[in-house]
Amino acid sequence: MKKAAAAKSDKPPKKAAAKPESRTALVRRARRINRELAEVYPYAHPELDFENPFQLLVATVMSAQTTDLRVNQTTPALFARYPTPEDLAAANPEDVEELIRPTGFFRAKTKSIMGLAAALRDEFGGEVPGRLEDLVKLPGVGRKTAFVVMGNAFGRPGITVDTHFGRLVRRWKWTEETDPDKVEKAIGELFPKSDWTMLSHHVIFHGRRICHARKPACGACPIAPLCPAYGEGETDPEKAKKLLKYEKGGFPGQRLKPPQSYLDAGGIPAPPLGATAPPATGE
């Protein structure tokens, strides 16, 4: 009995249950994370190449179930051949399918982008509307796509809940919601509207570069002290560095034609479709 008691006493004491985070503390931590990410990614931007609202709208619809890089490698030929909604709406579907085949699900995407082009032609005078209620009426356009266009083509605040955004805000315990509309509402209540668009870029940039789904680079994460999920990934700094992606790891980013601020910060443009990616410049 004494031995059993001694063995029992040798066990480490149980940790006290963590005190629930107050609403005020959550808001402060969330906003501090955003400020920290703004310093890490001052060049954060939409990672789809576009020159006008129509191109951004089409590219965003095409980005479903593929990478922004693949879309950026594919859209130059599409927009060169069909530069306006009127041109795309009148296209031969088989020709469009062939052009966008590399992005996957090309038949469904062809139907969506040709449908939205026809709607723009017939209902909006060939112009992309800047209002949420109009954008979501277009074929293939949901709230996520609408907010991408509103925030980046028209300067109207919106939260883009893609897979990266949803994953990170749950990992950071900002919300437990999984439905994108509920995530959007929950996170919108933590930040002023003026922060929404850039918040989306900061979180998505971080999710792509450091806070990966399967192997987050915890040991290279600038917001590790604020993250309740620290330790889910590699914590050794040197090993974590090897997990970094895009400019943080010296590799090309998603855009063929990125903003100058991104290039000035050391970002590397993506290679055109079929080209060989430039070698990494560092770990």
Which entry of 49, 68, 162, 195 is annotated as an active-site residue? 162
Q: 251 is written with which tokens?
A: 């590799």
- Give the integer Cα–Cα distance in Å for 75 and 50: 9
Contact 234, 212 (CB under 8 A): no
Which of 37, 65, 67, 33 is closest to 49 using CA atoms? 67
Dist. CA 39–CA 264, nearest whole Å: 15
CA 148 remoteness from chain centre: 10
Integer angstrom CA distances of residue 155 from 128, 129, 235: 14, 13, 38
CA pair distance 64, 111, nearest whole angstrom: 14
- End-to-end C-alpha distance for the chain, whole angstroms: 56
- Would the CA dihedral through 219, 223, 226, 232 be positive or negative? negative
DSSP secondary structure letter of residue 166: H
264 is catalytic: no
Residues 197, 158: contact at Cβ < 8 Å? yes
Annotation says 144 is catalytic: yes
- Rounded Cα distance between 173 and 65, Å, is 26
Q: Catalytic residue, from 144, 173, 185, 245: name it.
A: 144
Judge contact between 85 and 120, C-beta under 8 A. Answer: yes
Active site residues: 144, 162
